[in-house]
A = this chain, B = another copy of it.
Amino acid sequence: LISIALDVSGGDLPYEERIKGALLSLQLDKELFIALVGNETFILPIVKSSFKIDPNRFKIVHTSESISMSDAPSRILKDKKNSSLSIATSLVKQKECQGIVSAGNTGAQMAAGLFQLGRLPSIDRPGLAITIPTETGFCVLIDAGANTDIKPKNLLDFARMGSQYCKTVYQIEKPKVALVNNGTEEEKGNILTKESFSILKKEISGFKGFIEGRDIMKGSVDVIVCDGFTGNIILKTIEGTASSIFSQIKKEISKSLTQKIGALVLRKTFSALKDKMDYRVYGGAPLLGINGISIVCHGSSDSLAIQNAILLASKMVKQKTIDSISHFS
């Protein structure tokens, strides 16, 4: 059995969503065992009343302490040793579980990963690898926000880790890698990207050069590499632009009745598009470079997102993603 620890206390939505996600994942992956880490007083009634699950396939690890979004990551390890996040992470440390999934405080999850599990030998900085939908399918963007100021060596690590992640989890044999830049010509860039270009060109066999912001959604590469500041701006700008366009379309449509009829007819189009852009399909983002599997979920993750994050953790165990990263970097 593959055993995954779920931080039930972390997240914006009620406990039910995360527990439902866990139970759904058990139905889909028969090799799975889940440790529900959190307050038993809340977990037990939900498990008993709402779901019928084989008691041999999950257990509850009780703790009443949890981490809030406002807790400073640096103090959590000292002050909140009994938080659901710390305990879930220590289950991985003690080899009782093979991965952790959390929708709680991302900074705290990174700190817990770094200090409780440690880094892989050759990796200086872990990177958050998020899968985003593109016009042709999807791509992996790394780093999505774990590190703001970095060096070329870190971008090289991100490129290697992103490639191994694509190879093992998405079965892409030769992942194409590109470095985010303010132009595609070799002489364009800031100090970091200019210095990194020749290193990636030399070290990464699938390196296709620079990629500009306008081409990220086109889906021409599999792995998009950047520092975490830039990655955060890209992801949030995509999100903001998409939501702004949809809200403006709605506004324009509501201006007249004929538009409303048009909207009815087009409903299928919009819902197809929304499904395609649904972040929940990809569940969560692994923090690559940690000596263990740690999946970061969006704070507002619902049962579908949690289900897919757990399935991703399980797949990473089966495909030996962490071994493959430590072997190839």
Q: Residue A263 at the B interface, CB < 8 A?
A: yes
Residues of B within 8 A of A256 (CB): 268
Q: Residue A205 at the B interface, CB < 8 A?
A: no
A191 CA to B229 CA, complexed, in Å: 10
Query: Could you tell me if A217 and B240 are in contact, using CB atoms closer than 8 angstroms?
Result: yes
Residues of B within 8 A of A327 (CB): none
Query: Could you tell me if A234 and B213 are in contact, using CB atoms closer than 8 angstroms?
Result: yes
Query: Could you tell me if B252 and A236 are in contact, using CB atoms closer than 8 angstroms?
Result: no
A191 CA to B245 CA, complexed, in Å: 32
Q: Residue A46 at the B interface, CB < 8 A?
A: no
Binary interface profile of A, 230-245, with partner B (CB < 8 Å = 1, else 0)?
A: 1011111111111111
Query: Could you tell me if B190 and A214 are in contact, using CB atoms closer than 8 angstroms?
Result: no
Closest to A244 in B: B217
Question: Which one of B242, B249, B265 contacts A259 once the chains associate, using CB atoms below 8 Å?
Answer: B265
A248-B276, A266-B266, A273-B252 given; A214·B189 CB < 8 A: no
Binary interface profile of A, 241-284, with partner B (CB < 8 Å = 1, else 0)?
A: 11111011100110010110111111011101100100000000
Query: Could you tell me if A244 and B180 are in contact, using CB atoms closer than 8 angstroms?
Result: no
| Oligomeric state, in copies | 2
Residues of B within 8 A of A272 (CB): 252
Residues of B within 8 A of A212 (CB): 232-233, 236, 240
Within 8 A of B (CB), among A183-216: 183, 189-191, 193, 212-216
Binary interface profile of A, 93-136, with partner B (CB < 8 Å = 1, else 0)?
A: 00000000000000000000000000000000000000000110
Residues of B within 8 A of A276 (CB): 248
Q: How many residues belonging to A are interface residues under a CB distance threshold of 8 Å?
A: 57
Query: Could you tell me if B245 and A273 are in contact, using CB atoms closer than 8 angstroms?
Result: yes
Q: Residue A149 at the B interface, CB < 8 A?
A: yes
Q: Residue A27 at the B interface, CB < 8 A?
A: no
Interface of A is mostly: helix
Closest to A191 in B: B149
Query: Could you tell me if B190 and A217 are in contact, using CB atoms closer than 8 angstroms?
Result: no
Residues of B within 8 A of A263 (CB): 262, 266
Query: Could you tell me if A237 and B234 are in contact, using CB atoms closer than 8 angstroms?
Result: yes
A290 CA to B172 CA, complexed, in Å: 49
Query: Could you tell me if A245 and B244 are in contact, using CB atoms closer than 8 angstroms?
Result: no
Residues of B within 8 A of A249 (CB): 269-270, 273
Q: Residue A148 at the B interface, CB < 8 A?
A: yes
Q: Residue A174 at the B interface, CB < 8 A?
A: no
Question: Which one of B240, B245, B258, B264 contacts A216 once the chains associate, using CB atoms below 8 Å?
Answer: B240
A-B contact sample (7 more), CB < 8 A, given A214-B239, A215-B240: A135-B247, A135-B248, A180-B233, A190-B229, A214-B243, A237-B238, A261-B265
Q: Closest 3 CB pairs between A and B? A: A262-B265, A213-B236, A214-B240
30 inter-chain pairs at a CB distance below 8 angstroms, sorted by A residue, are A135-B247, A135-B248, A145-B182, A148-B189, A149-B191, A183-B232, A189-B229, A190-B227, A190-B229, A212-B233, A212-B236, A212-B240, A214-B239, A215-B240, A216-B240, A218-B240, A233-B234, A238-B241, A241-B241, A242-B245, A252-B268, A252-B272, A258-B265, A259-B266, A259-B269, A261-B265, A262-B262, A262-B266, A263-B266, A265-B265
